Amino acid sequence: MTSAVGHHHGPATGITRWLFTTNHKDIGSMYLIFSLLMFFIGGSMALVIRMELVEPGLQVVQPEFFNQMTTMHGLIMVFGAVMPAFVGLANWMVPLMIGAPDMALPRLNNFSFWLLPFAFFMLLSTLVMDGGAPDFGWTFYAPLSTTYAPPSVTFFIFAIHLAGVSSILGAINVIVTIMNMRAPTMSYMKMPLFVWTWLITAFLLVAVMPVLAGTVTMMLTDIHFGTSFFDAGGGGDPVLFQHLFWFFGHPEVYIMILPAFGIISQIVPTFSRKPLFGYASMVYATSSIALLSFTVWAHHMFTVGIPLVGELFFMYATMLISVPTGVKVFNWVATMFRGSMTFETPMLFAIAFIVLFTIGGFSGLMLAISPADFQYHDTYFVVAHFHYVLVPGAVFSIMAAAYYWMPKWTGNMYDEYLGKCHFWCSFVGLNLTFFPMHFVGLAGMPRRIPDYSIQFADFNLVSSLGGFLFGFSQLIFVLVVVKCVKGGKKAEAVVWEGAEGLEWQVPSPAPYHTFETPPEVK
Amino acid sequence: MKERSCSSAALIILAALWSVSAQADWALNMTEGVTEVSRSIYSLHMQIFWICVVIAIAVFSVMFWSIIHHRKSAGAKAEQFHENTTVELIWTIVPVLILVAMAVPATTTLIEMYDTSDSDVDIQVTGYQWKWQYQYLGEDLSFFSNLSTNPDEIYNKVEKNENYLLEVDEPLVVPIGKKIRFLVTSNDVIHSWWVPAFAVKRDAIPGFINESWTRIDEVGIYRGQCAELCGKDHGFMPIVVQAVTDEDYALWLADKKASIAAEVAAAARIWSLEELMERGEKVYQTNCAACHQVGGQGISPMFPALKASAIATKPEQIDEHIKIVLEGRAGTAMQAYAAQLSAVELAAVITYERNAWGNDTGDIITPQSIQSMLKSK
Amino acid sequence: MKSNRKLILQLCGATVGMFLFGFALVPLYDVFCDITGLNGKLELVAKKNTGVIDTSRAIKVQFIANTNENMPWDFVAKDVEMTVHPGENARADFFVQNLTNEQMVGQAIVSVSPSIGAKYFHKTQCFCFDRQVLNGKQAQEVSVLFSLDTDLPDRVKKITLSYTFFDITDLQPVAAN
């Protein structure tokens, strides 16, 4: 509490600094550390999955536990790792990039963070409950997740509620900060793209997280209070659940990728030493992706028996999304063209992002073709697709951001050699893991199965080896972070030669309080 | 030094891969299938794939050319341009045109897939946790199709056969050259009936029917799997379709109906304990072992044990035991088997449960007693 | 700071609004189903027949009888298939028996395939309009009186109706149905 009173002082000492802090940098760091922890927990579950899939047959785990692992892996990675990591980056960087002294609602900020450990403690505790953890997939389709769910489903619902509240509060905070706290001379069209993409993401969060909350509330009342939203016997409809879920779920996908677009749009110009190509079109492309994301949800449900007209509408709308996404990729390439490039770790991650995310985008376009989706749907091709957009997409952008801004956060340069090791191991590991999944998916391997027929054996072995390489490579990142926090070459205020923006005007490490008087924006 | 150890590790991995690839089946692509629809889907898939490849080559060659030529270490000086309306318009409009070109064949194929009219054979496909039921409409023929893979293969005790996990006890038999309409529904959770060779994938939703159709060109055995997560044994409910000629189909229909009639007739005769045990073991393996386990020990707490349980050993609980098997238990995974199994099978499996794994009650449940329980008013 | 409060209130309002919108999607979805025939859902209301019979067309109507999980009822369609002219009144019979010794409540859910047919299938009377209460071992004949709309599109030559009995003995009666 003392730090809140005497705001010219530095941080409080000991545990109270972290429990009661209202400082955006402290909270940002806590979000980032929390998400890294979740990344490892979710990742080890992925390794359990890959271990079982090394060869045909059941050897490591039983099917029921396997289903718990796929479910928890998905939930933890989406709600525990990727989303909090972006919120952490927003906390750290948005005030610095718009010249604000802190987030607009600092106490709310503290509250939003501290909801998360409780939410995920509750979710993880279901693993030791009678009947096991949720085992109905991260998409928790009814009635598997209602009538047929293990007793722990109630804890799962409550955990989703808590994580959802945390996200919504975080989003409100980001919107108010960006709209009201910018330095007076920073107009909307002068905002860095990371800020822009986060503003749009925050609006998406406010729009769809409440729908998710409503959906799990309906599940709760179906399970415990005798309603029949999703039970055909009582006049409900299990397909309604899928509509509600994907009405949230598709914008959610963009929630996890728009901030990544922002990060890449910061990093590519810096290391190309050239302004971002097509700033305005980037803003418009991001906004149109966000708007279109509300009109495409049923492309996740092409096989549930949607009428022909609906099927065609959702196919066309989905195909249309590739246009603004393509514009972004073209803009990044045009930014590199005729630049003066160097390839430090953040740039390597950014380039890998562009290439691999584009591959994920292509498979997404293929999946949009509804007739073809009848063959792709619920196979490993889909698993390959969304891991290509989420791992080298969301996760690589977070890694890129961490390397890019770590010197600003710690005041020390990270170990470039280790950083590059981390990059190359991750790059090789993830392609080994996820690329063969395209092949087994096309050859007919359904997703979410603990055992498979023998023709899929070879590629699955490759995937598993790649998975372990990718998983253990992330330990290098921990080493880099620890080394960087402890010491290293001192970082300048402007860490990177081509870096532009307000965050580089403050010294490295960024002092506990920054921009107490608004800076001047050119 | 470091690099050398890296490359030797890579060599070991490659060698390992090489050895497994001796009998390798590195299937890379989607099947073309054996129907007109599956072939048009395959060609759509290849078209969109090659379009993506061409775009990828164009974009990435510009990118990698820039990476090679416009690097600081090569002495590149950065230009400062940051917009060009013409270029931006081109790369917005050209993709739209490509998409329109793609949407046309996709729409045609989709309309074709949705036209289920004028079918010759109608088959109702019902998903159960974790098996399929096939009902031939208008033929008074219905049966279940269960995974027939030996559990020892699953638990790596014996070598796996080539159709591991893709084999069933009773395949769906259909005629070739006929328009077959599938009415897909479910008994419990959502399943999805998928046979890649026909490009038929339809979700099975409890309470609702979904339809799909196919016309198979070639005689053959086609294998598929459930595609929608449906619980514990989602990976263990395959689909096997045997496509035969018209004549063979007629023969099979007659044969199948005769064997069902024989099964009904068999309920009238006297069965010995040994006969019931032998039959019961088979029925138990297919229908019960997934949850109650082969050894009857169950999986606590979701799937109770039968071995040494009160219900399967106490004489006063015989009626309760039969009742649960026939009617199921609400709110659990225990299904009502009255409609799924024949009187002989029901009698056999209950007898088996009361005498296997050291339960040894000596109780014999006769098919006649099951029949009278089902019909009594 | 005043402008902060206004913006926060607006955003909270949007959050609450979207939460309610999620619930509003439930009835909206039913409207959407009625319009598109999604899932082959039928409106559970009796419709009047106009009296015109189109004898130039004969439509094959199939009936499927299912019971959902753990429902120990014997439920069979006595008329598996029949041919009707659009506009003509027809009747299909079913047999249902409770195989247990206790009283049970069942609700039949109907689904039409092809889903486009749902709009043109008019029921004047149906056992699926009401919950069916059957005592232990009680058997009953149930039926549906229906007619097909004369506007039925030409390409529909066969309509399949599936009735699935759900066990709602333990379900509290809710507003829907």
Per-residue pLDDT reduced to its tens digit, A468-495: 999 999 999 999 999 999 988 999 999 9
Phi, psi of B125 (to 5 degrees): -110, 120
Per-residue pLDDT reduced to its tens digit, B102-122: 999 999 999 999 888 888 999
Burial of A130 (0-12, 13-18, 19+ CB in 10 A): exposed
Answer yes or no: is pLDDT of B17 > 70. Answer: no
A521 in a structural domain: no
- What number of residues does chain A have? 522
What pLDDT does residue B295 have? Answer: 87
Per-residue pLDDT reduced to its tens digit, A93-119: 999 999 999 999 999 999 999 999 999
Least confident range from A195-199, A310-314, B158-162, B330-334: namely B330-334
A269 in a structural domain: yes
Answer yes or no: is pLDDT of A1 > 50. Answer: no
What pLDDT does residue C174 have? Answer: 44
What pLDDT does residue C177 have? Answer: 37
Q: How far is CA A22 from CA A1, A9, A89, A114, in A?
A: 9, 13, 16, 12
State mean pLDDT over B321-339: 82
A20 in a structural domain: yes
CB contact under 8 A, C166 and B118: no
Whether B112 contacts B41, CB under 8 Å: no
Contacts of A278 in chain B (CB under 8 A): 82-83, 88
The catalytic residues of A are 73, 102, 138, 166-167, 250, 252, 254, 265, 299-300, 325, 328, 447
What pLDDT does residue B1 have? Answer: 39
Answer yes or no: is pLDDT of B16 > 60. Answer: no
The domain limits of chain B are: 30-50+86-115, 121-263, 268-375
What pLDDT does residue A400 have? Answer: 97
Q: Calculate how close chain A gets to B311, using CA atoms only, in Å.
A: 22
- Of the candidates A185, A27, A5, A14, which has an alpha carbon nearest to the alpha carbon of residue A99? A185
Kindly state the DSSP code that residue A143 receives in the 8-state scheme: T
For chain C, residues with pLDDT lower than 70 are 1-2, 34-51, 70, 171-177
What pLDDT does residue B291 have? Answer: 83
What is the dotted CATH code of the domain comprising C40-167?
A: 2.60.370.10
Give residue A447's pLDDT band: very low, low, confident or very high (50, 70, 90): very high
What pLDDT does residue C41 have? Answer: 57
Contacts of C104 in chain B (CB under 8 A): none
State mean pLDDT over A23-30: 95
A64 in a structural domain: yes
Per-residue pLDDT reduced to its tens digit, A164-221: 999 999 999 999 999 999 999 999 999 999 999 999 999 999 999 999 999 999 999 9
What pLDDT does residue A195 have? Answer: 97
CB contact under 8 A, B117 and C156: yes
Give residue B359's pLDDT band: very low, low, confident or very high (50, 70, 90): confident
Whether C67 and chain B come into contact, CB under 8 Å, resolves to yes
Superfamily of domain B121-263: Cupredoxins -  blue copper proteins (2.60.40.420)
- Domain with A67, as residue range(s), is 2-504
How many CB atoms are located within 10 Å of the residue A463 CB? 25
What pLDDT does residue B12 have? Answer: 56
Per-residue pLDDT reduced to its tens digit, A300-326: 999 998 888 889 999 999 999 999 999
Q: How many domains does chain A have?
A: 1
Q: Calculate how close chain A gets to B12, using CA atoms only, in Å.
A: 12
What pLDDT does residue B362 have? Answer: 84
Per-residue pLDDT reduced to its tens digit, B250-309: 999 999 999 888 888 888 888 888 888 988 998 898 888 888 888 888 887 778 889 888
What pLDDT does residue C52 have? Answer: 77
Answer yes or no: is pLDDT of A376 > 90. Answer: yes
- Amino acid letter, residue B290: A
User: Mean pLDDT in chain A?
Assistant: 93
What pLDDT does residue B111 have? Answer: 92
What pLDDT does residue C53 have? Answer: 81
Question: Closest chain A residue to B57 measured between Cα atoms?
Answer: A355
Contacts of C36 in chain A (CB under 8 A): 307, 309-310
Looking up tokens 């263990």 gives B236
Q: How far is CA B98 from CA B48, B52, B89, in A?
A: 10, 10, 14
Taken in order B74, B79, B83, B84, the sign of the CA dihedral is negative
Looking up tokens 């999805």 gives B192
What pLDDT does residue C76 have? Answer: 87
Answer yes or no: is pLDDT of A257 > 50. Answer: yes
Answer yes or no: is pLDDT of A512 > 60. Answer: yes
Instruction: Tell which A residues from 280 to 339 touch B, by Cβ distance under 8 Å.
Output: 280-281, 303-305, 308, 311-312, 315-316, 319-320, 322-323, 326-327, 329-330, 333-339
Contacts of C167 in chain B (CB under 8 A): 330
Least confident range from A85-89, A462-466, B90-94, C85-89: namely C85-89
Q: How far is CA A342 from CA A267, A351, B66, B285, C119, in A?
A: 11, 11, 12, 64, 64
Whether C18 contacts C100, CB under 8 Å: no
User: Mean pLDDT in chain B?
Assistant: 87
Per-range mean pLDDT, top range of A243-252, B254-263, B306-315: A243-252
What pLDDT does residue A82 have? Answer: 96
Q: Calculate how close chain A gets to B190, using CA atoms only, in Å.
A: 7
CB contact under 8 A, C68 and B335: no
Whether C99 and chain B come into contact, CB under 8 Å, resolves to yes
A184 in a structural domain: yes
| % chain B with pLDDT above 90 | 50
CB contact under 8 A, B326 and C72: yes
Residues 6+ positions from A57 with CB-CB distance below 8 Å:
A451, B153, B154, B155, B156, B160
Q: Calculate how close chain B gets to A125, using CA atoms only, in Å.
A: 17
A516 in a structural domain: no
> Can you tell me the ipTM of this complex?
0.91
The domain limits of chain C are: 1-36, 40-167
Answer yes or no: is pLDDT of A224 > 50. Answer: yes
CB contact under 8 A, A247 and C4: no
- Of the candidates C13, C12, C9, C7, which has an alpha carbon nearest to the alpha carbon of residue A178? C7
Task: Assign a CATH topology to domain B268-375.
Answer: Cytochrome Bc1 Complex; Chain D, domain 2 (1.10.760)
What pLDDT does residue C169 have? Answer: 82
User: Which chains are adjacent to chain B, needing at least 3 Cβ pairs under 8 Å?
Assistant: A, C
Q: How far apart are CA A379 and CA B194, in angstroms?
A: 11
Answer yes or no: is pLDDT of A342 > 90. Answer: yes
CB contact under 8 A, B207 and C113: no
Answer yes or no: is pLDDT of B42 > 70. Answer: yes
Whether A210 and chain C come into contact, CB under 8 Å, resolves to yes
Burial of B13 (0-12, 13-18, 19+ CB in 10 A): middle
What pLDDT does residue B11 have? Answer: 54
State mean pLDDT over B341-370: 88
Contacts of A378 in chain B (CB under 8 A): 192, 194, 201, 227-228
- Of the candidates C39, B130, B334, which has an alpha carbon nearest to the alpha carbon of residue A446? B130
CB contact under 8 A, B165 and A453: yes
SS3 letters across B244-273: ECHHHHHHHHHHHHHHHHHHHHHCCCCCCH
CATH number, domain containing residue A190? 1.20.210.10
